[in-house]
């Protein structure tokens, strides 16, 4: 992967190039390099297999330019009011030529935005996270990636081999393979490096992070049962066989399951079901962008009780040790914590929207676009539900 120092140099040189362009009123340069390492898992007890298959990696890098362009000159020789903004990017080239190509695309795609005020401005907040990544994950060796895959597969197999319910289904332990035991999924490592600079924040800022995660499905094919498990962590020494064990245990637990008739039932959701409900239903409605577009299901309920008083949600992009944590946002601003729902009441979404209405560009604050997306949790930050006694992070 491209070193952080080269990304920083690319942004610095890109800013210098932008400042030499007469039609650019204000600009921002973003350079990044990302690596995705993946090993696929496929164990089948009744069909010949490799267990861990197809380790592979993909590396990509590029540069992006966001430019605020001066309008054409009027008859009096003065430029029209600034209002056109465009974005362009170039992949696999972070040189000045790449910046030039990205700027050309930004010019061609620029549009007038009457609501645009400015690019991001310093907020005065101090960065909370720095040097928080695990070098072992950023510089992982091929053999360690394969070992991580086997760790998960072996975790599932140990659960199958020691399971009393499975043992009761066969004459002797050697016959377990006839049940059609399956473990499939992947172990994925995501490595990210970025650098950003702008006219308002000319000192180039950098960030790098890495995470390792696994998503597994296990089956007892003869019994028609299956289960899933997952794990995500930021440290290689913290990665365990949990995903494999969880998937195998869930597959065993569903043996002999029955279909319930239609009706109303009290249920307790597991982690994955809770995550999907939050991610696809609840959290999108808490974005200030959704309020601004009048598309939130919480319209008309801002500042009111929307959930149990025992339920709170906060957005914390700077929480140490969590996989979604970052030192800065994609605009170069420090990540932080925002209360979304506190003790069941809709909190900061209404405050942010009221601030926008009363003062679209606060003195020394962010631009409209940044503030309107500052609670857009799924993309830049991470959310966690919290109870009154203790916090449970997802």
Instruction: Name all domains of the chain by residue range, CATH numbers in brackets.
Output: 4-71+83-253 (3.30.2290.10), 271-386 (no CATH)
- Please list, in sequence order, all residues whose beta carbon lies within 8 angstroms of the beta carbon of residue 131, skipping any fewer than 6 positions away: none
Cβ 314 vs Cβ 383: under 8 Å: yes
Phi, psi of 36, deg, nearest 5: -125, 115
Displacement of CA 178 from its chain's centroid (Å): 40
Displacement of CA 383 from its chain's centroid (Å): 11
Predicted pLDDT of residue 303: 84
Per-residue pLDDT, averaged over 80-106, amounts to: 91
Predicted pLDDT of residue 302: 79
Phi, psi of 15, deg, nearest 5: -65, -40
Dist. CA 246–CA 248, nearest whole Å: 6
| pLDDT class of 378 with cuts at 50, 70, 90 | very low
Q: DSSP 3-state helix, strand, coil percentages of the chain (rounded to 5)? A: 30, 30, 40
- CA distances (Å), origin 330, targets 61, 89, 200: 15, 14, 15
Helices (H) and strands (E) in the chain, counts: 11, 11
- Please list, in sequence order, all residues whose beta carbon lies within 8 angstroms of the beta carbon of residue 15, skipping any fewer than 6 positions away: 27, 29, 197, 198, 199, 202, 204
Which alpha helices (H) appear in the chain, and where do they start and end? 4-19, 96-109, 135-138, 142-161, 164-167, 242-253, 271-277, 288-292, 348-358, 368-372, 377-380
DSSP H or E segment with residue 315: strand 312-316
| pLDDT class of 392 with cuts at 50, 70, 90 | very low
Per-residue pLDDT, averaged over 336-360, amounts to: 71
Residues facing residue 338 across a β-bridge:
315
What does pTM read for this prediction? 0.82
- CA distances (Å), origin 25, targets 20, 65, 107, 147, 334: 10, 13, 12, 52, 25
Dist. CA 14–CA 95, nearest whole Å: 8
| pLDDT class of 166 with cuts at 50, 70, 90 | very high
Instruction: Name the nearest CA neighbour of 248 among 228, 222, 230.
Output: 228
- Transcribe 67-130 into DSSP letters: EEEPPPB-TTSPBPPP-EEEEEEEET--SHHHHHHHHHHHHHH-EE-TT---S----SPPP---
Residue 248: DSSP 8-state: H
Dist. CA 152–CA 233, nearest whole Å: 14
Residue 305: DSSP 8-state: B
3-46: per-residue pLDDT in tens?
999 999 999 999 999 999 999 999 999 999 999 999 999 999 99
| pLDDT class of 172 with cuts at 50, 70, 90 | very high
Residues facing residue 92 across a β-bridge:
none
């Amino acid at each position: 992967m491209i070193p952080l120092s080269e990304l920083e140099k690319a942004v610095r040189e890109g800013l210098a190039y932008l400042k030499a362009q007469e039609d650019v009123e204000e600009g921002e340069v973003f350079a990044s390099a990302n690596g995705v390492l993946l090993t696929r898992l496929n164990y089948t007890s009744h069909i010949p297999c490799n267990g861990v298959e197809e380790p592979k990696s993909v590396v990509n890098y590029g540069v992006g330019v966001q430019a605020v362009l001066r309008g054409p000159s009027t008859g009096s020789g003065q430029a029209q009011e600034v209002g056109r903004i465009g974005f362009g990017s170039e992949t696999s080239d972070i040189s000045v030529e790449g910046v030039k190509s990205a700027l050309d695309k930004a010019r061609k795609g620029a549009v007038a935005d009457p609501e645009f005020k400015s690019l991001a401005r310093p907020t005065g907040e101090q960065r909370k996270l720095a040097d928080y990544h695990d070098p072992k994950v950023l510089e992982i060796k091929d053999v360690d990636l394969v070992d991580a895959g086997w760790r998960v597969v072996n975790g599932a197999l140990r659960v199958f081999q020691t399971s009393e319910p499975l043992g009761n289904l066969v004459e002797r332990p050697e016959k377990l393979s006839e049940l059609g035991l399956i473990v499939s999924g992947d172990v994925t490592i995501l490595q990210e490096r970025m650098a950003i600079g702008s006219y308002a924040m000319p000192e180039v800022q950098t960030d790098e992070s890495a995470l390792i995660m696994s998503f597994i499905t296990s089956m007892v094919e003869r019994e028609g049962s299956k289960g899933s498990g997952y794990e995500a962590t930021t440290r290689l020494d913290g990665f365990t066989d949990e995903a494999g064990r969880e998937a195998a245990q869930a597959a065993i637990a569903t043996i002999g399951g029955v279909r319930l008739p239609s009706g109303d039932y009290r249920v307790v959701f597991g982690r994955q079901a809770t995550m999907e409900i939050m991610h696809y239903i609840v959290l999108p409605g808490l974005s200030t962008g959704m309020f601004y577009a009048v598309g939130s299901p919480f319209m008309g309920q801002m500042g009111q009780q929307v959930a149990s008083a025992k339920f709170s949600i906060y957005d914390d992009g700077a929480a140490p040790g969590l996989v979604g944590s970052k030192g800065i946002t994609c605009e170069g601003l420090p990540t932080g914590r925002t209360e979304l729902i506190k003790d069941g009441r809709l909190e900061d979404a209404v405050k942010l929207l009221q601030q926008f209405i009363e003062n679209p560009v606060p003195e020394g604050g962010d631009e409209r676009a940044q503030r309107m997306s500052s609670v857009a949790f799924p993309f830049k930050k991470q959310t966690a539900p919290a109870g009154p006694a203790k916090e449970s992070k997802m």
